[in-house]
A and B are shown apart, each in its own frame.
Chain A
């Protein structure tokens, strides 16, 4: 049972890193629907680097650096060129789906390094995730930089008038968010499941994106949501632990995705939006034109 929980928390960490980065992006008003693409690229870069250099730190660095670079690319298109954020995000995703399949294909198989040691079977990344949640919460709600980030996402014109450089803030956030997405991918391929296979994420990035909406843009609720989905994910992989012999294992695999849809529906109802959903950044997805 403990083993299952430890494994669940490790899965949660992947969701958490990716979603936390996206949360910071969105708080500054930039929507990146290509989160899965950033994770695929980060994970593949980390895997290839770690395998060729036999060094975990270098692998993580490579994954995070590539994530940051792709965040920057998304920023250039959506902030400087004021392009459609959905077009850019989807572009990043398809680009990564294609290129990582090509780059990672020859390395299909296990990483071949000794596993990253954990404490009592729990990987060191979950505590790091909790610390990051606290740090992001402190940054967003207790510092002037956080106020600048939130105002850039709520009302960029007012933020600019009060002396905040919306462009600089948004760039900072997309690069930071990209770094975390790269870290999420690296955690997946180096720690959670150190085997490269074709399209290894199969929707983790999109689930993380949904988690940001579920969290109402609050890091602590995000932590709870990510933990819940991590447990659900592990249970869907081994349903025999709870309900042996009920339904095919393939049907259980659909559960985490199937649950996401009703939650999305509930948080989209006007009943929910008027009572709890007020946290949505007002300028989310809209480019800012300095006037």
Chain B
């Protein structure tokens, strides 16, 4: 772009040290928060009061902190579900579908045992373990289906996972509404509630799934940094043709990353519907929880594929989305501030991504016409 005697250009940047990646993530999040303040201003709410309400509810209110912790676990598991295939260059946007599959499988365990008529002969601990395993398996199966199609036939994984989302949304509706098999005895449009013995064990009020989520953060970073398998996945993600030349077989890798990713999403479904105190059922507004999983995409992208790096981001997003919902009621803000934030974060992430790879250069352009004139006069 020319501006008078100066020229503004965008040029590719040489590789930057990792510190800048962290800095970029922080700046992207802060910028999104600043942009979100426009939403608060437009609603005539006092700006600092609005932010104070959001943050004090999410991180200091005893009730809010627990809710933030529980939502963080969910978002983290969704983050891994997106992050693992992304390291292989594949897009798993089937998070809601895999979450629903996990939830349905978890509820199928007590349903199947009750349907046989005999009281559960198994100890509650075994049943909970079965529910967790069923949820992870169902999520993995749904993810693996997309992975297998991608691996064997190069079927676009974005389309397949998105179609599976829509299919599962309606299957859940079928299961829990209008007399479906899982419908609650007392409530229309919700699933049956879990019996108290099947509640997930709590640690300080937080389900044991917290350990799974945090353990997986360490495990995944080690997998990608230190193991041959992790190296193969990254190599395939960064340059598929070179990886194939180097003897890396893409079929098993595509399948593996989707199986693992889907299992995490299935666990997320188990966690939010079967392990969070006060829920213990598939509620009628399950679609809201499923779509919340899309925050996992943003947090994996902003964390640049690092599972440990995603932990603070997921906690922040969990707090923000809960705090924004709370502030909506307290300050009478319009509906959907939490979703707007999701959109703004995506925008600032793309901007930071561009600035990470390019730099703006502002240079003075020498006027050319006089030089030519001088040249001609010399002849």
Contact = CB atoms under 8 A, between A and B. Distances in A.
For A77, A98, A207, A251, the residue with the greatest tally of chain B CB atoms inside 10 Å of its CB is: A98
Nearest to A92: B346
Contacts, number: 132
Contacts of A228: none
A251 B155 CA distance: 25
A86 B166 contact: no
Given A33-B158, A95-B347, A102 B171 contact: no
18 contacts: A33-B158, A88-B350, A90-B158, A91-B347, A94-B294, A94-B346, A97-B339, A98-B339, A98-B340, A98-B346, A106-B335, A202-B166, A202-B169, A206-B159, A206-B163, A207-B163, A250-B180, A264-B155
A269 interface: yes
B354 A81 contact: yes
DSSP majority for the B interface? Answer: helix
Nearest to A80: B10
B171 A101 contact: no
Interface of B: 10, 39, 91, 93, 149, 153-156, 158-160, 162-167, 169-171, 173-174, 177-178, 180, 291, 294, 297-298, 334-337, 339-347, 349-350, 353-354, 357-358
Nearest to B145: A261
A106 B335 CA distance: 7
Given A102-B336, A102-B337, A260-B159, A97 B294 contact: yes
A203 B353 contact: no
Contacts of B345: 98
A82 B26 CA distance: 24
A52 interface: no
Contacts of A86: 91, 158
Contacts of B334: 102, 105-106
A130 interface: no
DSSP majority for the A interface? Answer: helix
A193 interface: no
B140 to A, nearest CB: 18
For B155, B160, B298, B346, the residue with the greatest tally of chain A CB atoms inside 10 Å of its CB is: B346
Interface of A: 33, 77, 80-81, 83, 86-88, 90-91, 94-99, 101-103, 105-106, 199, 202-203, 206-207, 209-210, 213, 248-251, 253-254, 257-258, 260-261, 264-265, 268-269
